[in-house]
Amino acid sequence: MIPVILSGGSGTRLWPLSRATRPKQFFALLDNHSLLQNTLLRLDGLPGLQPPVVICNEAHRFLVAEQLRELSMPMPGIILEPVGRNTAPAIAVAALQAVAAGDDPLLLVLPSDHVITDISAFQRSITLALPAAEQGKLVTFGVVPTHAHTGYGYIRCADTPGNKHQVAAVEQFCEKPELARAEQYVSSGMYFWNSGMFLFKASSYLSELEQFSSGIVTAAKQSLHNAATDLDFIRLDEASFSACPADSIDYAVMEKSANAVMVPLAAGWSDIGSWDALWQVAAKDPQGNAYRGDALLQQCRDSYVHATERLVTVVGLDDVVVVETKDAVLVAAKQALQDVKHVVDKLQKAGRTETELHREVLRPWGKYNLVNTGSRYQVKHISVKPGAKMSVQRHHHRAEHWVVVSGT
């Protein structure tokens, strides 16, 4: 079984922490590991695991490589997408690579930005799904809903409501519903949240994809055939992959396949789609507050504070989210968090860089922090990893002054 980790996305829903050049999967939000790292760590103990395949945006390649190195994890090849084409083409590339040597392994497809608190239950669901996947079924994992959520798609299974520990045929994939319909879904016991996680043979997926979306298979084959290997990376051919139809695995395959089945998952799952979702899964004090970093809350209830650079104090506020970064601060009522995307849209239209970059920018050799900038000057604090080397450059139209404050 090969874990296929999908690490795309722009991460605007957790702005200002998550940004285009460093989405949420690369941050440690609940413990000392990032969401990407925890996605890999929770697989430990599953039988027959092969080294993971990570598919990511080319701009995030060094972030992925560094986080895998921190786990001392083998990197048989990080697949780089030159452009985003949604999940169906990305999984097709992973499946084609998996069968290239004549094997036909199982692929465990996992998004890199989810939280799962009950790892034992998660692994039990995977074990339950193995026989069906071996028989050629396309298994998806349906999260047992805890409440009527309007931010998730739903899966209707064809089994009886009381039979929640069996592999069940998928009857329908449902779009994100209005609240009243979501309440009907949950009360019926026949509907589950769509987790976006899958298990199937590589050949089973490619066969179904060829039947329903052959253009994706053709483009994926071409982009992989013309790919270039660069250090730990497999660079897909840009022209071929750009010509690939953009589609999700749900639309391209799962909604059309007669071989789609579902396994229930009750493992404390969340896709961390908002700051409120992060508050819900975080550890809380007796007043229901959760925080990370140097934060002090006084006379507050059910609030979330994330401090990265400075002391953040919040006094006398309930149901709020406060997020502080080096260059931006978000203060929002929890019930209005869906409007964060409108703030990001306005910043993008205004040409502001705060949606794309952090002041701290990671590089293969280390990182730099933009301390100050103005007309014709900028000041950076640069940290170089031991043994690493920066690129050698010459500048004819600017002067640089370096001061080594620590190290040699």
What pLDDT, on a 0 to 100 scale, did the predictor assign at position 363?
83
Count other Cβ atoms within 10 Å, centred on residue 362.
Answer: 17
The band of 165, judged by pLDDT with boundaries at 50, 70 and 90, is: low
At residue 275, the pLDDT reads: 94
Percentage of the chain modeled with pLDDT above 90: 65
In angstroms, the CA 220 to CA 93 distance is 5
Is the pLDDT score of 161 beyond 70?
A: no
User: Is 164's pLDDT higher than 80?
Assistant: no
Q: Which of 282, 281, 283, 309 is nearest to 295 (CA)?
A: 309
Q: What pLDDT digit, counting tens, does each position of 268-297 carry? A: 999 888 999 999 999 999 999 999 999 999
Q: What is the pLDDT of residues 83-103, one digit of tens each?
A: 889 999 999 999 999 998 889
Order of strands across the sheet that contains 329-333: 290-292, 304-307, 320-324, 329-333
Look up residue 31 and give its DSSP letter.
S
Cα dihedral sign, 336-342-344-347: negative
Confidence of residue 160 (pLDDT cuts 50, 70, 90): low
Predicted pLDDT of residue 10: 67
DSSP 128-192: HHHHHHHTT-EEEEEEPPSS--SSS-EEEESS-TT-TTS-EEEEEEEPPPPHHHHHHHHHHT-EE
Percentage of residues in the chain with pLDDT exceeding 70? 98
pLDDT in tens, 66-79: 899 899 887 777 99
Per-residue burial over 195-207, b if 16 or more Cβ lie within 10 Å, else e, is: bbbbbbbbebbbb
Q: How many CB atoms lie within 10 A of CB 363?
A: 16
